[in-house]
Amino acid sequence: MRPAAKSPAAKAPTAKPRRRVSRAPAPKPYHHGDLRRVLIDAALQLVGEGGAEAVSVREAARRAGVSPGAPFRHFSSRDALMQAVAEEAQRRFRAEIEAALAEAPAGDPLARFRCLGLAYLRWAMRNPTHFEVISSRRLFDHDKAAGVSRNNAELIELTERTLEEAFAAGQLRSGDLKAVQIAGRALVYGFARMNIDGHFPRWGVAGPEAEQTAEAILDLFIEGIAKRP
C-alpha cells in the first residue's frame, strides 16, 4: 500500500520568532581635552582627602567621568599615576620658587636666599596636599621619578649657588655653607610638616597667623647666619 498523501491543507510547523538580543549601549568616549591632567588633579584630590591609600586608578577615572579602562591609555598602573602626580606637584613648586626669585633683588644674594625660603614656606602651607606628595617618600618611588629627582637637584644647586654668592659678597658669618644649607632646609621643611600634622594650635598659632609666623622665624634664621656690619 502506498502511504497516504498529506492533505494540501496541512501546514508546515511555524518557525519561532528570533529573540532580539538587547545589547548594553557602548560606553561613551571621554571628551576631556586633557584626560591626563584631569586624572592627575583627581589623584591629588584623593591624596588630600584620604591619604595615599585613597588613590586608585579606578576612583580617579570615576571622578574624571570616564570608563575604568580609559586612564590606562595614559598610566599603566597606580604607581605610574602617583609618579605623574609627584611630577606635577614638583613642577608647580618650582614655578613658585622661580616667580619669587624673579622679584628678588639681583645684587643681594642673601635677600634672594630669604626669598627662596619664604616661597618654599608659602607654597607648602597654601598647597599642603602637593607638599605632602613631594615630601613623603612613601607616596611614590623617587628612584623611578627622574623628573622629580632632576628638578629637586636643580633647586638644591640653586640654593648652593645663592649661598656661595652671599659668602663671596661677605654677607655670611660662617663659611660652612653645607651646614647653613641643611639648617635652612630643616627649618622650612620642619615648619611645613608642623602645619600638615596640625601642631600649630598647641603652640598658640592660629591658622591665619601661620604665614606671619613662618616669615618671622625665617627672618630670625637669616639674622643668625648674616655677618653683622
pLDDT of residue 20 exceeding 90, the answer is no
**Contacts of 37 by beta carbon, 8 Å cutoff, 6+ apart:** none
Q: Return the pLDDT at 11.
A: 47
Give the separation between CA 219 and CA 99, rounded to whole angstroms: 20
Q: Return the pLDDT at 45.
A: 85
Q: Which residue has the higher pLDDT, 34 or 194?
A: 194
- Joined grid coordinates for residue 4: 497516504
Q: Are 110 and 75 in contact (CB under 8 A)?
A: no
Q: Return the pLDDT at 95.
A: 93
What confidence tens digit (pLDDT) does each residue in 56-110 have? 888 888 888 888 888 888 888 888 888 888 888 899 999 999 999 999 988 999 9
Q: Are 42 and 60 in contact (CB under 8 A)?
A: yes
Give the separation between CA 185 and CA 213, rounded to whole angstroms: 17
User: Which 3-state string (H, E, C) describes 63-113?
Assistant: HHCCCCCHHHHCCCCHHHHHHHHHHHHHHHHHHHHHHHHHCCCCCCHHHHH
Tell me what the pLDDT averaged over the chain comes to.
83
Q: In the beta sheet, which residues pair with residue 124?
A: none
Range in 116-125, 138-147, 152-161 the model is least confident about: 138-147
Q: Return the pLDDT at 36.
A: 86
The domains found in the chain, sorted by start residue, are 32-76 (1.10.10.60), 87-225 (1.10.357.10)
Q: Return the pLDDT at 113.
A: 97
What confidence tens digit (pLDDT) does each residue in 23-69 have? 434 344 455 568 888 898 888 888 878 777 788 888 888 888 888 88
Containing H/E element for 220?
helix 210-225
pLDDT of residue 208 exceeding 50, the answer is yes
Q: Return the pLDDT at 94.
A: 92
pLDDT of residue 213 exceeding 70, the answer is yes
Sign of the alpha-carbon torsion through 58, 60, 65, 69: negative
Residue 105: closest CA among 94, 92, 114, 118: 114
